[in-house]
Amino acid sequence: MKTLKDIEVGKTCMVIRLHGEGPVKRRIMDMGITKGTQILVRKLAPLGDPMELNIRGYELSLRKADAELIEVE
């Protein structure tokens, strides 16, 4: 299983499945990360966390702990 955390800077991926339960999963979905969404990893913070993503035409910073819950291809 490949997660969003494993994607290199400059690469694009597609969401296959969201893991996690309850409020955590709901918060991820509220940010626009749903099944079939294309995500571009723009850059990483100097210490590697958080990551900056481009989703649905806007930029989003996401912690790697949350990125581990997003399965991609």
Q: How high is the pLDDT of residue 20?
A: 87
**What contacts 61, CB < 8 A, 6 or more positions away?**
50, 51, 52, 53
Q: Extract the tokens encoding 59.
A: 């930029």
Reported as a single tens digit per residue, the pLDDT across 22-39 is 999 999 999 999 999 999
**pTM, 2 dp:** 0.87
In the chain, domain spans: 4-72
Q: In terms of CATH architecture, what is 4-72?
A: Roll (2.30)
Reported as a single tens digit per residue, the pLDDT across 28-71 is 999 999 999 999 999 999 888 899 999 999 999 999 999 999 99
